[in-house]
Amino acid sequence: MVKQTIQIFARVKPTVRKQQQGIYSIDEDEKLTPSLEIILPRDLADGFVNNKRESYRFKFQRIFDQDAKQETIFENIAKPVAESVLAGYNGTIFAYGQTGSGKTFTITGGAERYSDRGIIPRTLSYIFEQLQKDSSKIYTTHISYLEIYNECGYDLLDPRHEASSLEDLPKVTVLEDPDQNIHLKNLSLHQATTEEEALNLLFLGDTNRMIAETPMNQASTRSHCIFTIHLSSKEPGSATVRHAKLHLVDLAGSERVAKTGVGGQLLTEAKYINLSLHYLEQVIIALSEKHRSHIPYRNSMMTSVLRDSLGGNCMTTMIATLSLEKRNIDESISTCRFAQRVALIKNEAVLNEEIDPKLMIIRLQKEIQELKDELAIVTGEQRTEALTEAELLQLEKLITSFLEDQDPENKLEVGADMRKIHHCFHYLKKLLHDKKIHRQSTAPSENKDQNCQEPLKEEEYKKLRDILQQRDNEINILVNMLKKEKKKAQDALHLSSMDRSELRLCQSSPFPPGNPDGPKTLPLSAPTQALDSSTSPYRSSLLHRKTGMREEMSLGRQEAFEIFKRDHADSVTIEDNKQILKQRFSEAKALGESINEARSKIGRLKEEITQRHVQQVALGISENIPVPSVPDQLEEKLRSQLEEEKRRYKMMFARLKALKVEIEHLQLLMDKAKVKLQKEFEAWWAEEATSLQVNLPAVTASNHMKPFPQMSEAQHERSQPLSNKSDVYARKILPSPGPLLRSQGQSSPATPVEDSIPERPVSSVPLTGDSQTDSDILAFIKARQNILQRTGFQ
């Protein structure tokens, strides 16, 4: 923070006539503060001024006499201010003095010679020169130019060049925010990147000012002009921006109306011609007096705009311009008195810094990128948001080899990359999950490669035994169901004609019945397709979507479910609803088409009516007949058709709406019924499984066939082609698992598992005699065998 009183300077304008000497003297003793003495000429002292004093002495920072060059003025007055603005402080230079004392000459300059350039062009030149020199910061410069006349603000940088009077310029108003900051609405800010651009703006403003001036408004004497350079600076990469403003102010003429009393006596009070200068003085008086809490800035636009410059955050300088001619003595004294007061005002200039959030984001983004780059250098790999396909593949390979490696010391090394570590965990989880599902649902496909593996541990035996039991139950439930199916089919055979029966058989199996060269293996779903060909993928997927259950079912259960569904009472309801839904859909479709037709018909009718109408009017005009009072019949007909069509349209639309409601309702009902069906199936399945567990040993006991000798794969395959005869039951079913047998008290819990299981009596499955069905059963049996082989039972 820089605390400073407003600096005051005096500049004396060169006088035309040389005889004015002796009116003033300048005392510039180096040790003392320079002072200006104004000496009253004898004739004035006698007649005009009624006190006895003959001279007045005023102190200034510096006094520039008549011969002071513009260059000197700039160097001594403006340059220090410009420097503090470049450093980030606000600055103001204002010229105060009576009309013709040289304010404009000092601030803007003379129009004739280049050397007469005033403070504004020289400051611009200096600032841009400094900006160019300083590469440590990034600068932005904007220019605004405001004229205040009669308490109204005008934007002098209006680029339209259309102003012929001040009133044509955009009006600027003062706004104050809750923090008492002043904002100038409508004052345009123009960026200037070079001195030339800035000078062009000064020229534009001065031209506008000149054009707008008329002898009537005497703008140049009665208005204030504020040329402002807005400078922003920031260091590269920094988000902190410094803002500084430099106001270069050419005030209105300070002349007052001297009130003379009776007898030509000068009264103590002389009034400003310019009201806002009066308010400026009020502000200055208030500021110069101690303990004044209220400063009347708001009284005028000018004091509002210059609020910071007067007793605020600014380094302010005043130039008192004096035209020390005999006739101007009183005004010159007033100017100097004013300056003395101003010199008492203390300002506190602070650096105006703020953090630009946009720049902050950019800076942080840059920092992140740099860190990423650094990381890339350290790790030797470039990281993006997500892992690439190649990286994912590589990781999965690593995981696979890690899992396959028997060495317990083996480590999974993916480097210090959280993305990779996370992916490893996800992948491992997925593998674990897949394996679980795989074990539950695809036990039949357990491959024989497992045979050569070491015997599994106790708990794995238990798990496998459980799965085995589940499969046994599934097989038995399926076999029972298939038997029923077979019976049904046979009954149907008796009832229907031979031809139809053959046709159906051909459809259900690609192989003719009894063909000894029939399939060695068949797809598991083939019997289901034959039994329930109506199962559509749409329905199953819909059900799955609603229940989330189907996908978890083993294939055996799925088959059973399809049959269960077909025989369930609710399936009739579902089917019925499906049919109704179909009907409603097609009805809605047809209705939609009719509605579209009606709509276009309405459009056509409207068009026809308009045309007819136009024709009638045209006819009337061409034949000079007034519009007939009797309505046109054709038009009437078209209109009634239109009405009828509209009615139809409305009716159909209402029906369609109702249909939509119905369709949605039906869909909901169906979904509900499907969920219910699924639940009932689950219950039935569980029940069936339990009853099998109870009954199976009895069955196995009654069919106690000798265990088949162990079959090789080839032998097993050879045994698969089955005859069509239903009495071929001689198929080996391997022992039921331990828990089942233990529940029957046939096995001592103490008996080692390895020894006890293979000794159990086999359970046989009576085959159906249908080659396709039997093959499926055998597929289950084969899978079961595989499990047993894995467990080392065989």
| Closest CA relative to residue 208, chosen from 200, 359, 403, 488 | 200
On the CB side of 381, how many CA atoms lie within 13 Å of its CA? 13
Is the distance from CB of 108 to CB of 118 less than 8 angstroms?
yes
Backbone angles phi, psi at 661, to 5 degrees: -60, -45
Site string for ligand ADP, 310-339 (x = CB under 6 A): -----------x------------------
| Closer Cβ to Mg ion, 104 or 785, answer by number | 104
Q: Does residue 232 sit in helix, strand or coil?
A: strand
Annotated ligand binding at 442? The verdict is no
| Closest CA relative to residue 105, chosen from 58, 66, 147 | 66
Q: Does residue 87 sit in helix, strand or coil?
A: coil
Q: Any idea how long the chain is?
A: 794
**Residue 141 interface partner, choices Mg ion, ligand ADP, none, CB cut-off 5-8 Å depending on type:** none
Q: How far is the CB of 135 from ligand ADP (least distance, A)?
A: 37
Annotated ligand binding at 33? The verdict is no
Is the distance from CB of 768 to CB of 482 less than 8 angstroms?
yes
| Closer Cβ to Mg ion, 95 or 192, answer by number | 95
Q: Please, which of residues 5-34 interact with Mg ion by CB under 5 A?
A: none
Whole-number Å distance between alpha carbons of 769 and 490:
12
Q: Beta partners for 5? A: 346
| Closer Cβ to Mg ion, 98 or 220, answer by number | 220
The set of residues, in sequence order, having a beta carbon less than 8 Å from that of 753 and lying 6+ positions away, is 458, 461, 738
**Residue 101 interface partner, choices ligand ADP, Mg ion, none, CB cut-off 5-8 Å depending on type:** ligand ADP
**3-class SS shares of the chain: helix, strand, coil, % to 5:** 55, 15, 30
Q: How far is the CB of 284 from Mg ion (least distance, A)?
A: 21
Whole-number Å distance between alpha carbons of 539 and 713:
39
Whole-number Å distance between alpha carbons of 40 and 249:
30
The span of 214-222, 359-367, 653-661, 685-693 binding Mg ion (CB under 5 A) equals: 214-222
Residue 374 tokens read as 């650094």
**Residue 775 interface partner, choices ligand ADP, Mg ion, none, CB cut-off 5-8 Å depending on type:** none
**Residue 91 interface partner, choices ligand ADP, Mg ion, none, CB cut-off 5-8 Å depending on type:** none
The secondary structure element, H or E, covering residue 270 is strand 266-272
Annotated ligand binding at 100? The verdict is yes
Q: How far is the CB of 154 from ligand ADP (least distance, A)?
A: 18
Q: How far is the CB of 24 from ligand ADP (least distance, A)?
A: 15
Tokens 């000197």 -> residue = 72
Q: How far is the CB of 101 from ligand ADP (least distance, A)?
A: 5
Q: What is the DSSP string of 436-478?
A: HHHHHH-GGG--GGGGGSPPPPHHHHHHHHHHHHHHHHHHHHH
Site size toward ligand ADP, by CB under 6 A: 13
Q: How far is the CB of 369 from ligand ADP (least distance, A)?
A: 56
Is the distance from CB of 22 to CB of 367 less than 8 angstroms?
no
Q: How far is the CB of 367 from Mg ion (least distance, A)?
A: 53
| Closer Cβ to Mg ion, 249 or 692, answer by number | 249
Annotated ligand binding at 265? The verdict is no
CA separation, residue 486 to residues 46, 61, 481, 723 (Å): 145, 122, 9, 15
Q: How far is the CB of 264 from Mg ion (least distance, A)?
A: 31
Annotated ligand binding at 535? The verdict is no
Residue 99 tokens read as 């009309």
Q: Does residue 610 sit in helix, strand or coil?
A: helix
Is the distance from CB of 50 to CB of 44 less than 8 angstroms?
no
| Closer Cβ to Mg ion, 220 or 303, answer by number | 220
| Closer Cβ to ligand ADP, 302 or 522, answer by number | 302
The set of residues, in sequence order, having a beta carbon less than 8 Å from that of 260 and lying 6+ positions away, is 266, 267
**Residue 312 interface partner, choices ligand ADP, Mg ion, none, CB cut-off 5-8 Å depending on type:** none
CA separation, residue 68 to residues 37, 196, 782 (Å): 18, 27, 117
Q: CB count, 10 Å around CB of 64?
A: 23
| Closer Cβ to ligand ADP, 67 or 623, answer by number | 67
Site string for ligand ADP, 10-39 (x = CB under 6 A): ---xx-------------------------
The secondary structure element, H or E, covering residue 152 is strand 152-155
Is the distance from CB of 283 to CB of 310 less than 8 angstroms?
yes
Q: Is 212 exposed, middle or buried (0-12, 13-18, 19+ CB in 10 A)?
A: buried
Annotated ligand binding at 548? The verdict is no
Q: How far is the CB of 131 from Mg ion (least distance, A)?
A: 29
Annotated ligand binding at 102? The verdict is yes
Q: How far is the CB of 224 from Mg ion (least distance, A)?
A: 10
**104: contact with Mg ion by CB under 5 A:** yes
The residue nearest ligand ADP at its CB is 102
| Closer Cβ to ligand ADP, 73 or 395, answer by number | 73
| Closer Cβ to ligand ADP, 274 or 321, answer by number | 321
**Residue 13 interface partner, choices Mg ion, ligand ADP, none, CB cut-off 5-8 Å depending on type:** ligand ADP
| Closer Cβ to ligand ADP, 319 or 531, answer by number | 319
Site size toward Mg ion, by CB under 5 A: 3
Is the distance from CB of 229 to CB of 85 less than 8 angstroms?
yes
Site string for ligand ADP, 251-270 (x = CB under 6 A): --x-----------------
**Residue 88 interface partner, choices Mg ion, ligand ADP, none, CB cut-off 5-8 Å depending on type:** none
| Closer Cβ to ligand ADP, 13 or 209, answer by number | 13
Q: How far is the CB of 11 from ligand ADP (least distance, A)?
A: 7
The span of 215-223, 227-235, 342-350, 390-398 binding Mg ion (CB under 5 A) equals: 215-223
| Closer Cβ to Mg ion, 195 or 206, answer by number | 206
Q: How far is the CB of 99 from ligand ADP (least distance, A)?
A: 4
Whole-number Å distance between alpha carbons of 149 and 274:
10
Annotated ligand binding at 25? The verdict is no
**Residue 118 interface partner, choices ligand ADP, Mg ion, none, CB cut-off 5-8 Å depending on type:** none
Site string for Mg ion, 62-101 (x = CB under 5 A): ----------------------------------------
Three-class SS string for 398-409? HHHHHHHCCCCC
What are the DSSP E strand ranges found in 77-118? 91-96
Helices (H), 623-744: 633-702, 713-719, 738-743
The span of 144-152, 219-227, 463-471, 610-618 binding Mg ion (CB under 5 A) equals: 219-227
| Closer Cβ to ligand ADP, 327 or 494, answer by number | 327
Q: How far is the CB of 215 from Mg ion (least distance, A)?
A: 15
| Closer Cβ to Mg ion, 104 or 771, answer by number | 104
The set of residues, in sequence order, having a beta carbon less than 8 Å from that of 55 and lying 6+ positions away, is 37, 38, 39, 40
Whole-number Å distance between alpha carbons of 453 and 447:
11
**Residue 736 interface partner, choices Mg ion, ligand ADP, none, CB cut-off 5-8 Å depending on type:** none
Q: Please, which of residues 52-111 interact with ligand ADP by CB under 6 A?
A: 97, 99-105, 110
Site string for ligand ADP, 234-253 (x = CB under 6 A): -------------------x
**571: contact with ligand ADP by CB under 6 A:** no
**Residue 761 interface partner, choices ligand ADP, Mg ion, none, CB cut-off 5-8 Å depending on type:** none
Whole-number Å distance between alpha carbons of 587 and 589:
5
Query: Where do contacts with ligand ADP occur on this chain (CB under 6 A)?
Result: 13-14, 97, 99-105, 110, 253, 321
Binding residues: 97-104
Query: Where do contacts with Mg ion occur on this chain (CB under 5 A)?
Result: 103-104, 220
Binding residues for ATP: 97-104
